[in-house]
Amino acid sequence: MPGCLAGLSPPPAALHLLLRGRGRSRMAFSAAAPSRAFQLRLNPLTGDSEWLVVDEAEGEDAGAAPPQTQRQLLAATSYLDMLNDAARNRAYRRAIEAAVSDPSSRVLDIGAGTGLLSMMSARALGAVGGEGRGSVSACESYLPMGKLTRKALRANGMDNKVKLFHKRSDELQVGVELDSPADVLVSEILDSELLGEGLIPTLQQAHDSLLVKNPKTVPYRATTYGQLVESPFLWKMHDLHSNEANAADGVWLTPGGMENIVSVKLQQHAMQCDPLQDEIRLLSEPFKVFEFDFSERPESQRENKITIKTTGDGCVHAIISWWVLQLDSDGSIFYSTAPRWVRQSSITDLPQCADDTKDWCDHWKHCVWFTQGRGASVMKDQTLSLRASHNLTSISYQLLNANDEACNGSLKGDHLTLLPERIALYGDRYWRSALITAIKNALGDRSLQTCIVADDSIFLALLVSSLSPSSKVIAMFPGLRDTGATYLQAVAKANNFSIDQIQVIGKRAASLSTDDLEHKKVDLLVGEPFYCGSEGMLPWQNLRFWNARTLFGSMLSEDALIMPCKGVLKLCAMSLPDLWRSRRSLKNVEGFDHSVVNETLGACGDLPGEQQGPCLPYYVWQCGYTKKLSKVYSLMDFNFAEPIHSCFGKTKIEFADAGTCHGFAVWIDWVLDEKNSIVLSTGPDSRYWKQGVQLLSKPIEVNPAKSQLHVEASFDPSSGDITFCSSFS
């Protein structure tokens, strides 16, 4: 359960920013009073942020967020997936029972979540006769979650056995909230990288102010591991320059001499690597990186030089990393996030989990650190040096040469950093060719005065500027802003256009005025569409382009060209047993009833009536076992020649294969030209895009000759939401 240590300032009465759960998609703001919190929500169609108020009281007062909004906030987190991880729950239960052995134990749970670990602690305390002698205290500062914690405690008769505080751990004080320092610390403030949820600062503050000297802790220790790999797929996600050279289409996002001006973000990227097992060549054995002992105050930063012997010839494209928890001090209870090939190996010096049949889960993934450029060529039995370092929230790596110098060059101040999927897309030959062809066809022999790139597409900004040198190009760059302007200035000459030809507005669409256009009409409006910061959202939230087109309506010339000209909502019936298992409704979790949290967390199955959980964004290829059960169907068209409006669509899916249908994947195909001849799909066959996944109220066994799935969908232009309704016949 996530950490509770952070702080910034929302307006006007709220005091603290709680940036929670990097892999769990949460950002919340706690107010001055513990009974109220501010939740920041992004409007996907406008890019504007709006504040929602969440109150501790079960009822609502004026201005409070409606229950549906609170459900949407929590359903988008990975709490449910985490609580469905039986191996994790079992390991924590065993370790807590071992740690809480003294009837006078004073237990502190930081980041209580649904209160599962607190209830385990209270039960263990009662089992050793500690009721009335020991104590269990818990803090959960994310108020929507804290309200759910109270429900779960009440449902299990634990509300008078666990003292719950809607505060961050650094807001607790011994002698105020806590009667005395805790001698047992229970926590789960871990993300895929281990440190990203604030593990180190939370432990530091707890050891300084909240714990006795030499406390018992669950977990007891965490160890991070890494492995060198070669992978053409991972290479495409970081070496844009080489892939541009292979495309040879004349557009240079990374011109010669500026190979790293567009690069992948230098961080560990969470990714399910098991599906890549057949595409990965291992170039080393697993190696230990760092150990973190929870019973001691951790250092803020460390550096470790690691000597690695390679196991084969190849090119190191990435370091795949994971961690192993030792939950008890005796070293008998472990939990590992290692890739499948490591768990199935016979390596003797790696801790083995007691139950190594761990189900697929999404709340903890593997991590990928990309090497720069083409990677590092190695030969079998070569000795490499790797420098690993960590700060308060992240771990980083540098391969070293014979002189112990970093092999990777430093990045310049004018460079852009993007997510790996975007780097791969910008280097994809088919994707680039489709856009180049569509723009060339659109321009034809026309002389265009003013063109607008409505989104954050640096590719289209360069392409339109170079193909239409007489045009004035307006790049909105609502997310890139000044960084995008600096980048364009650096690469303009290499792409054969003058920087005077292009103007970066750096505003959202609603802020554009005729003064910005010098009172000229727009002849060409283009977008991929892509908006920085929207990469993790549902695919139709890029319909922000349609909203922008509507806002620009009065500025468009009568024969203005719009590209893409429409979007088509597509869907395919899927068997998704692993994803279903991770999102299924909760009942008994290690002896505690969790049915009260199902509806709020967006669970599937066993809900009132035929109620479905929310449609959520996933990389379908990373969702464990998947199987398509139907062909692809069109459900709804979005015509960008018209102003944005509500839409409705329905279709009947006939199954092409037998199996268990758990739901359907949904995405948008962008039609670039009016002839429908150039289409860019964001479906499951493309691993660079997330799809929406709508799980059914219950899985259905289907037969091609008998089963049909009826799906209806409606688009709300005020919110940007698409709602689905499905039934079988």
Residue 665: its pLDDT value, please? Answer: 98
Residue 7: its pLDDT value, please? Answer: 30
Q: What is the mean pLDDT of residues 109-128?
A: 98
Residue 110 has pLDDT above 70, yes or no: yes
Residue 642 has pLDDT above 90, yes or no: yes
Residue 22 has pLDDT above 50, yes or no: no
The answer to whether residues 409 and 260 touch, using CB atoms and an 8 Å cutoff, is yes
Residue 635: its pLDDT value, please? Answer: 98
Residue with the two structure tokens 């709340």: 363
pLDDT in tens, 251-287: 999 999 999 999 999 999 999 999 999 999 999 999 9
- Beta carbons within 10 angstroms of residue 305's beta carbon: 12
Residue 66, preceding bond cis, omega within 30 degrees?
A: no
pLDDT more than 70, % of the chain: 89
Residue 487: its pLDDT value, please? Answer: 96
Q: What is the mean pLDDT of residues 541-551?
A: 97
Say which of 171, 188, 230, 259 is annotated catalytic.
188
CA distance 337 to 284: 18
The DSSP secondary-structure symbol of 622 reads: G
Residue 361 has pLDDT above 80, yes or no: yes
Q: Is 405 a catalytic residue?
A: no
Taking the CA atoms of residue 700, residue 702, residue 707 and residue 711 in that order, the dihedral angle to the nearest 10 degrees is: 50
- Beta carbons within 10 angstroms of residue 382's beta carbon: 16
Q: What is the mean pLDDT of residues 129-135?
A: 94
CA distance 317 to 372: 8
Q: What is the mean pLDDT of residues 399-416?
A: 71
CA distance 83 to 114: 9
User: Quick one: which of 580, 559, 573 has its CA closest to 655?
Assistant: 573
Pairwise pLDDT comparison (74 vs 695), residue with the higher score: 695
- C-alpha angle 565/569/571, rounded to 5°? 150
pLDDT tier at 67 (50, 70, 90 boundaries)? low
Q: Is 230 a catalytic residue?
A: no
Q: Which tokens is 654 given?
A: 């006939």
Residue 70: its pLDDT value, please? Answer: 67
CA distance 345 to 455: 46
Say which of 140, 193, 197, 230 is annotated catalytic.
197
Tell me how far apart the 2 most distant CA atoms of the chain are, in Å: 87
Residue 107, phi then psi, degrees to nearest 5: -100, 135
Please state, rounded to an integer, the average pLDDT across all residues of the chain. 90
User: Is this structure's pTM higher than 0.85?
Assistant: yes
Paired with 692 in beta bridges are 617, 666
CA distance 157 to 123: 11
Residue 413: its pLDDT value, please? Answer: 56
Residue 58 has pLDDT above 60, yes or no: no
CA distance 171 to 139: 10
Residue 56: its pLDDT value, please? Answer: 63
Q: What is the mean pLDDT of residues 608-622?
A: 86
- Beta carbons within 10 angstroms of residue 716's beta carbon: 12
Residue with the two structure tokens 């758990």: 662
- C-alpha angle 122/126/131, rounded to 5°? 90
Which amino acid, residue 566? Answer: K
Paired with 398 in beta bridges are 387
Q: Which tokens is 601 given?
A: 């967390």
